[in-house]
Amino acid sequence: MIQNIISKKNSFANLDDAANVVLSLAVFIGVWQLVFMLGIWPKIALPSPLIVAESFAKIILNHTLLQGVGVTLGRLLVGFAISFTLGMLIGFTMIRFKGFGKTLNSFSAGLLSFPSIAWVPFSILLIGFNDLGILFVVIMSSIFSIMISTYGSIRNIPPIYLDAARNMGAKGLSLFSHVTIPAAAPSLIVGIRQAWSFAWHAIIGAEILMSIVGLGHILSVGREFLDMGQVIASMITIFTIGLLADRLLLFKLEEKVRRKWGLDYHR
C-alpha cells in the first residue's frame, strides 16, 4: 500500500520531469532560432538549429561521431578505472598510516584544484603525443579527488559504528568490508561523482590538444574548418553523454544509498 503510493508519486514525478525537460528544450531552441533570425552574428558564427542538425546528420552518417564517442568513452573508462582503483588504494593507505595520510591529504588538496589542461604539456613531454599521454592527463585530473574523498569519508565515520562492529567481533578485513566501506559510502559516492566529472573535463581537453580521434578532436576539427555547426553538434554530444552518465549511473547510485540511510527525510 505504502509502496504503491510511493511508486505512484515517483511516476508522477517522472512525468513531470519529462514534461519539464521537453518544455525547457523547446524554449531553448526557440530562443536560439529567434537570436539567429535577429541576425546579430553572421551565420558562420551562430548557425541556426537546423544547420546544426544538418551537421549532426553529416557526422553521424560518415561515422565520425560514433567512432569519436567510442574512442573517447574507451579512454575515459580505462583512465577512470585506473584512477578509481589506484585512488582508493592510496586512500586506504593514507588511513592506515596516519602521518603519511595527513601529509598527502594537504598535498592532494592543492592538486585537486589544479586545472586538467595544465597537465597536457607535461604529459606530452613526459609520455608523448599518444593514447598513454591522454590517459595520464585523465588519471592525474581525477585521482586526487578519489584519494581525498576515500580518506575523508573513512575518517568521518562515526566511531560508534566501528565500536559496535568491533564489539560484535568484526576486525581487519571483515570490519573493513562490512562496516568501513558501507559507512563511508554516502560521502564516498559524492567524491566519485566529482572525480568522474573531472575525468570527463580532462579527456575532452586532452583530446582537443593531443589527439587525432575522439570527441575532443571532432570539436577541434570543427574549429579548424570554421564549421560552427560541427562545433555545436559535438558540444551537444558531450553535454548529453556527461548528463546521461551522471544521471543514469552515479546519481542513481547516490540516491539509492541515500534512500537506504533515510538521508532524504530531511525536513
Partner 1 sequence: MTKLQAKNIVKTFDHNGNSVLVLDSINLNVEEGDFVCIVGPSGCGKSTFLNIIAGLEQPDSGEILLNGKPISTAGPDRTMVFQEGALFPWLKVIDNVEFGLKIAGIPKDERRLISQRYLDMMQLTKFADSYVYQLSTGMKQRIAIARALAMDPEILLMDEPFAALDSQTRDLLLVELQLIWERTKKTIIFVTHNISESVVLGNRVAVFKNRPSQIKKEITIDYRRPRLSEDENLQKYYHQIVQELKSEVKAQIKDEFQ
Q: Which residues bind partner 1 (CB under 8 A)?
A: 160-161, 163-171, 174, 178-179, 182-183, 185, 257, 260-262, 265
- Between residues 42 and 169, which has the closer beta carbon with respect to partner 1? 169
Nearest approach, Cβ of 155 to partner 1 (angstroms)? 18
| Closer residue to partner 1, CB minimum distance, 2 or 45 | 2
Residue 186: exposed, middle, or buried by beta-carbon count in 10 A (0-12, 13-18, 19+)?
A: middle
- Smallest separation (angstroms) from partner 1 to the CB of 142: 26
Q: How far is the CB of 196 from partner 1 (least distance, A)?
A: 22
CB of 156 to partner 1, least distance (A): 14
Closest distance to partner 1 from the beta carbon of 102 (Å)? 20
Grid coordinates representing 265 are 527525510
Residue 177 or 240: which CB sits closer to partner 1?
Answer: 177
Instruction: Report, in Å, the least distance between residue 261 CB and partner 1.
Output: 5
State in angstroms the smallest separation of the CB of 10 from partner 1: 18
Q: Which is nearer to partner 1, 32 or 161 (CB)?
A: 161
Nearer to partner 1, 166 or 223 (CB): 166
- Comparison of 184 and 219: residue with beta carbon closer to partner 1: 184
Cα separation, 137 vs 240, in Å, equals 22
Minimum separation from the CB atom of position 98 to partner 1 (A): 18
Residue whose C-alpha is closest to residue 110's, from 79, 149, 144? 144
Give the nearer residue to partner 1 in terms of CB position, either 9 or 247. 9
Measured CA to CA, the distance from residue 234 to residue 70 in angstroms comes to 13
- With beta carbons less than 8 A apart as the criterion, state whether 217 and 131 touch: no
Q: What is the rounded CA–CA span in Å between residue 169 and residue 163?
A: 10
Helix, strand or coil, per DSSP, at residue 58: helix
Q: What is the DSSP letter of 250?
A: I
- Cβ-based nearer residue to partner 1, 155 or 260: 260
Which uninterrupted H or E stretch holds 266?
A: none
